[in-house]
Structure 1
Amino acid sequence: MAVWEALVRCERRWLWVFVLVCLTPTLTGCPDNYSYLAHTYRCYRAYGILNTYDEAVATCLADGGSLAMPRDNTTNNFLVALKNNVSTSSKFRFGLHRWNETWKYVDGGELGNFTDWAENEPNDINERCAEYLPVFWYGSKWNDGYCSTQRRFLCEAEPAVNHCQPDPCVYGTCISGPDIFTCTCDEGYEGGTCNISIGTQ
């Protein structure tokens, strides 16, 4: 039995194998209590517990993700609906933070053209963590708040991906990894996807 690793590159949820085979990996589900948004190919959850910014980051990280990042109107509306299902009268922290004088997402990305700040916000250089306001207060718009203040919060995470569905190994057994699959070829076959008959070379 020969073991061949097929290195793959995921781009827009398409899996390219040696530029010859194009497969769509199967999404096997979100973490518990997360909701899937097809627009971003990601899972989101509104937590009803109260955490500081650092505690919220740690909670999201334990789920395999980060604080949620509403980069566009569709994602923002989805997050607002999620947090309103938990509480309409609470502030919810999300993954936007003031670094020096610049607002950045928790993955280091710059705040783009989309924002949803409440009127006259952000208004305090010492308030470095973004949060959603309650529904009755500017209709769930963004606010800057103190990172040490405990807030409810929103997380995002990638859904689990099975790179072996559909099975890319023609004559062999597939083992799925985080970003690659490995084909263990049947006797008499080789190649990244076990598609080459040794006897025909």
Structure 2
Amino acid sequence: MQELVITSLIVAHSLAFTAGATSNLSTTAPYGSNGTISGQTVVDLGNQSDQPVLRLIGTLIMNLEKEVHSQKNIYLLELICRLHYCTEWGEWSECSASNSGEFGVRNRTRLCGFNTSYCRRLSVSEVKYETDVCQNPCRPHNCTEWGVWSRCNAIDRNALGNSTRSRRCDFPSTLCEQYLESKDEFESKVCENICPNAYTTTTHGYCFKIFALVYTRDAAEATCRKDGGHLANVDSELAMQDLNNFILKSYGNKGFYWIDGHRSVQAGSWEYGYTPENSNFTIWGDNEPTNGPYDLCRRYQWMNYNGTKAWRMRDLSCKITAWFLCQIIS
């Protein structure tokens, strides 16, 4: 039936042109006032030009239009209605994939004209859609090494939480940078708060224990390792805040504690059992560090600071004995 519809319309258009050319009728006679063609206009032209074939084809078209309308056959309806050329396809929409490298969809549209007011009365859409699979092109490159995993945010012992790390990346265009709003990539994983029963989980998830034993720095670190940790690393404001509160509740503002941080040469770079959250974070007391020839380790103590007392760091010999603070990171 589809082929019959198309063939009939083409023949009608050709004969209508011929009839107009061999008579005094206008060659636009088979079109309505808005430039559309219909079965009725072909019948009218056949009557005016005394062309029985045109009347027959026009009647056939009218019958096909009625049949299509009664059966709601949209495919046949479009074959009849969409004889005018469509516009060029528009631009593709943005890819629906929100993350770099992911797949999504995009679409574009164009307008297709109708040949008859009859088609418009049936409210067939003039807009044609095309959909395509796409991939977000904003793939990162020249990325830095991944940073350190953050502490597990699970507060309760043996509870599950989340840990994240990040890295800095470049993107292929400024458009990608605007689209992604950030040059930082993040990665997360499920973690568990494995703080042992003998340790204390602080407000912000740190896992600390005070050993009220007088050990050298190396002996203290060895004891922490037996528990699965290291000497406590005071490497951020939150760590300092939680550690200070923990010490205050345990023994008050007094004492001397070995903490993480040692170096192999005088005034050299500090090394740690755990990678610090912020390697540049330091809270030295007044006139510290002294950088003496044997001052290769760090101790945390209640000492002078800006005219008052506070928990601060100092450097001194690793052979001195003191209490110590252990930390376990989930």
TM-score by length of 2: 0.38
Contact 2:206 2:239 in 1 (8 A): no
Higher mean C-alpha deviation, range 131-140 or range 66-75: 131-140
The gaps in structure 1 that reach 5 residues or longer are 1-10, 16-21, 160-201
Q: Aligned pair in 2 of structure 1 residues 30, 14: CA closer, same or farther (>3 Å)? A: closer
- Is the aligned partner of 1:127 residue 2:295? yes
- Read off the aligned partner of 2:238 and give its amino acid letter: T
Which residue matches 2:324? 153
SS class of match (1:48): strand
Counterpart of 1:32, as a letter, is N
- 1:4 — aligned with what? none
Q: Percent identity between the aligned chains?
A: 26
In structure 1, the residue corresponding to 2:310 is in which secondary structure? Answer: helix
Deviation at 1:93, TM superposition (A): 0.9
Contact 2:235/2:276 (8 A) holds in 1: no
User: Could you say what secondary structure the match of 1:107 adopts?
Assistant: coil
Aligned pair partner of 1:48 in 212, 225, 230: 212
Can you list the C-alpha shifts for 1:101-150, whole angstroms capped at 9, x where unaligned? 11222236597221100011010241111111226774111111211111
1:160-175 alignment, distance < 5 Å: none
Counterpart residue identity of residue 150, structure 1: T
Aligned to 1:98: 263
User: Shift in Å at residue 30 of structure 1?
Assistant: 1.6
Q: How does 1:103-122 map to 2 (within 5 A)?
A: 103-107=270-274, 112-122=279-289
8 Å Cα contact 1:66-1:95 kept in structure 2: yes
> How many residues of Structure 1 are paired with residues of Structure 2 in the alignment?
142
The question of whether the paired residues in 2 share the 8 Å contact of 1:56 and 1:153 is answered with: yes
Looking at CA atoms only, which structure, 1 or 2, has the larger radius of gyration? 2
Matched, 1:71 2:239: no
3-state DSSP of counterpart to 2:287: coil
Are the equivalent residues in 1 in contact too, given 2:233–2:259 (CA < 8 A)? Answer: yes
* Cα distance in 2 for residues equivalent to 1:99 and 1:109: 18
Task: Kindly state the Cα deviation for residue 51 of structure 1 after the two structures are TM-superposed.
Answer: 0.9
Of 142, 154, 158, which aligns to 2:313? 142
Amino acid at match of 1:114: F
Larger RCO: 1 or 2 (CA < 8 Å, sep 6+):
1
Q: Is the 8 A contact 1:33 1:45 kept in 2?
A: yes
Specify the alignment match of 1:82 in structure 2: 246
TM (norm. structure 1) is 0.60
SS of the residue aligned with 2:261? strand
Distance 1:14 1:82, change over 3 A: closer
Secondary structure of 1:64 counterpart? coil
Please give the alpha-carbon distance, in whole angstroms, between the structure 2 residues aligned to 1:154 and 1:106.
13
Query: Per residue, is there more helix in 1 or in 2?
Result: 2
**96 and 49 in structure 1: CA distance in 2 versus 1, 3 angstrom threshold:** same
In structure 1, distance between residues paired with 2:318 and 2:208:
21
Distance 2:328 2:192 in 1: 16
Instruction: Give the drift of 1:73.
Output: 0.9
